[in-house]
A and B are shown apart, each in its own frame.
Chain A
Amino acid sequence: MDTVLKIEHISKTYTGHRALDDVSMEIPRGSIYGLLGPNGAGKTTLIRVVNRMILPDSGKVFFEDREITAEDIYRIGYMPEERGLYKKMKVGEQAIFFARMRGLSKFEAIKRLRKWFDRMELTEWWDRKVEDLSKGMAQKVQFIVTVAHEPKLLIFDEPFSGFDPINTNLLKDEILNLRDRGATIIFSTHNMESVEALCDNITLINKSRNVLSGSVGEIRRRAGGNTFRVVFSGEYDKFTRAISDKAELIGEPENLIGGYTQHKLHIKLDKDIRPVIGALNESVNLRSFQEIIPSMNDIFIRAVNGTL
């Protein structure tokens, strides 16, 4: 696998508190990677280790197959959860300042920033102070400041907090756009809908440890445990007889409007589902047959509670 960032066995202890305990993960190039976990799980510490803001007690971070160095910092863009901009400084000047801090020349910085400001509909705010901006606009400025130097790796901490639905979509599109142009993106969030919509892979950290890793589709399917929902009309006895040796029923049948019955059933992972559908089709009037895939929200809660 072509990885941009590889985190190997990172541990970090603050006075008396273990913030990270042997956490490892690999971020594939060109993917969007979700870093999930409840508050205080250690996500921010992990991001800070990657950013070289703090040194781990043990473990290593590799950036493009080399151990990460101070120079690599310019190829990482980081948007912290709690946004930081100088309130009294003019928006444009501030964006130029940060872009230059990340190695762009003044000329190049202005050129790129003008383009970004146009796209984010912020041009008329260029000469205004940050304190005059609305929260959403300040967030957009923060986003521009993070991406203007076109880093290979982007780290967003809760990128959608404080955005209205329209701007959330704008930002989602821009994030996908950045990925399509070759950037790798890590984002840390509690917003599970955005994880389902954007992330290819995730790692879930709970109590300083990595508890769940993998591709989003696979994790959801695995968490679903090959469970299906069947909706039919017809005799219930015929239904139970048809699947008796092929699947096991879960719970009780539910009666739906229009004379339909709904039932959950579980099929063993190594078994094919086609014989089940075939048998049901012959004995009852099959309305729908659908795999139950838990939402990331369910998975998050179950993983954190240890019931996954």
Chain B
Amino acid sequence: MSKINLILSREFTERVRKKSFIITTLLTPILMITLMAAPTLIMMLGKTSTKKVVVVDNSPERFVGRQLKSGSTVEFRLLDTGITAAEARAQYSNADRAYGILIIGSDILSNPGNLQLILNDASSMSVEESINGQIQDILRTERLSRYEIENIDRILADAGIRVNVQTLKNNVLAVDEDSMEATSTTMSWLLGLTLGMLLYFILIVYGQQVLQSVIDEKQTRVLDVIITSCTPFELMMGKILGIALVAALQIVIWAVLVIGVSSFVMPLLIDPASVQAISDPMMGSAISSFTDVGFLLSLFVQLLVFAVGGFLFYASMYAAIGSAVDTPQDAAQFNSIIMMPVILAIIVMMNIMNDPNSGLVFWCSMIPFTSPIVMMARIPFGIPAWQVIVSIIVLFISFFIMTWIAARIFRVGVFMHGKKPTWKDLAAWIKMK
């Protein structure tokens, strides 16, 4: 077994056996799934209670109150004429009797603002929306009818349309529009954000582990023992690859858990009829993404490639720094420089929603310092395959260059004790014969 292999398997087994690894590996997907499923679950749970609203209508002939329609959100009860607002408030003063009292002003037609909802319970946006929407329609119809246009009812019925844009991904292979994948910008953005953050987590957390591992060996002087039985390059590569393997294992476990839950557990939780009943395109797309195994699988494969590539690229920098310093405190200064492109990537990622193909976003998804995070956040928007491939190639070439530079710093740095190196020292070590 080669030296790299020995070091790699030691790093790998020591880490995988740790409790912290097992805990983060199992908790993260649970957190992810909870986040994904939250909107659906909230929506389903939110539907349970219908709010009862009593109506004191002072409008002429109570034309508003009579036209209010009870639905699943609000149940209206029109009070008899003669009951004043004050009486109604006294009579329906607790939440058990009524959720609220709606008071419609007598001049509501000319003054639509004369409308009050007095609540016995916490306010609810869906109740307010339902009341506003219905009364707006009633008033509009009433005002229009004053123009005495012929067949006004039919015209109004005809004009009462609701628009909801259906965004589809253009796929030339799809036979008809129905088989094209429905997308939602918001959903893609949220998914991209999750993936980008996941990648950020992998780069930083695992990158720091490489840094910490090198510093630890330097501090405990294990390095002196190891380095007499292998070359610095073998040691560095063994470490980086060992930790990369831990990260890869973690992603694979996450993929299996998430895909497993979406293909076996989600269908049981979500009744297909209720999914069809959901008119909200964002929710529909969210649910369809999370039950589409092929989509999830391709996403995880790309995640794995970018996570490994990005990690290797960053890890070699971390290894070089770890070798050059004695304590984590000394590493902080160099660390902050490494963090800068990562922070930039996060900022760019937040702006992807506006235009996933803008110049800034495009270049940030190609340059290896930011590409793993930014590209991962772009992928859910459905970008051309060539861009992904070019980005991967650039990333892996950069990894080789970075490793070469890091190895040159590493071979000198591991034997340096006492003095904190400057950037000039590092440059000198790279050039050293």
Check if A84 sits within 8 Å of B228, measured CB to CB.
no
Asked if A80 and B229 make an inter-chain contact with CB atoms under 8 angstroms apart, the answer reads: no
Contact among B6, B224, B415 for A97, CB-based, below 8 A: B6
Cβ distance B238 to chain A, nearest Cβ, rounded Å: 10
Contact of B224 among A53, A73, A76, A89 (CB under 8 A): A53
- Among B27-35, B155-163, B215-223, B402-410, the stretch that binds chain A is B215-223
Q: Which of B45-77 contact A (CB under 8 A)?
A: none
- Chain B residue numbers with a CB within 8 Å of A273 are none
A145 at the interface (CB under 8 A from B): yes
Asked if residues A84 and B229 are in contact (CB atoms below 8 Å), the reply is no
Contacts of A87 in B (CB 8 A): 220
Write the nearest CB–CB distance from A84 to chain B, whole angstroms.
Answer: 4
Residue of A nearest to B433 (CB): A55
Determine if A301 is an interface residue (Cβ-Cβ < 8 Å).
no
Do B225 and A80 touch (CB < 8 A)?
yes
**B14 lies within 8 A of A88 (CB):** yes
Q: Could you tell me if B221 and A100 are in contact, using CB atoms closer than 8 angstroms?
A: no
Alpha-carbon distance between A251 and B228 when the two chains are bound, in angstroms: 53
Q: Given A78-B228, A82-B221, A85-B222, are A100 and B1 neighbors across the interface (CB < 8 Å)?
A: yes
Across the interface, which residues of B come within 8 angstroms of A74, CB to CB?
Answer: 229
Chain A nearest CB from B63 CB (Å) reads: 79
State whether the Cβ of B140 lies closer than 8 Å to any Cβ in chain A.
no
- Does B224 contact A80, Cβ atoms closer than 8 Å? yes
In the complex formed, the residue of B with least CB distance to A76 is B228
Distance, CA A244 to CA B10, complexed state (A): 76
Q: A48-B415, A53-B415, A97-B6 are in contact. Are A84 and B223 (CB under 8 A)?
A: yes
- What chain A residues lie within 8 Å of B221 (beta carbons)? 80, 82-84
Identify the closest chain A residue to B425 (Cβ). Answer: A15
If over half of A's interface residues share one DSSP class (helix, strand or loop), that class is named, otherwise mixed; here it is: loop
Interface centre among B14, B222, B229 (most CB of A within 10 A): B229
Q: Any chain B CB within 8 A of the CB of A256?
A: no
Taking the complex as formed, is B171 at the interface, i.e. its CB lies under 8 A from any CB of chain A?
no
Cross-chain contact A84 with B1 (CB below 8 angstroms): no
Contact for B6 among A80, A82, A84, A100, CB less than 8 A: A100
Query: A85 CA to B200 CA in the complex, in Å?
Result: 32
Q: Of A88, A89, A100, A145, which one neighbours B225 at CB under 8 angstroms?
A: A145
Partner of A53, one of B3, B220, B227: B227
A84 adjacent to B415 (CB under 8 Å): no
**Which residue numbers of A lie inside 8 Å of B, CB to CB?**
48, 51-54, 70, 73-74, 76, 78, 80, 82-89, 97-98, 100-103, 142, 145
Chain B residues in the interface with A (C-beta under 8 A): 1, 3, 6-7, 10, 14, 217, 220-231, 415
Q: A85-B225, A97-B10 are in contact. List 20 more A-B contacts (CB 8 A).
A: A51-B228, A53-B224, A53-B227, A73-B228, A73-B229, A74-B229, A76-B228, A78-B225, A78-B228, A80-B224, A82-B224, A84-B224, A84-B226, A97-B6, A98-B226, A98-B229, A100-B6, A101-B226, A103-B229, A145-B225
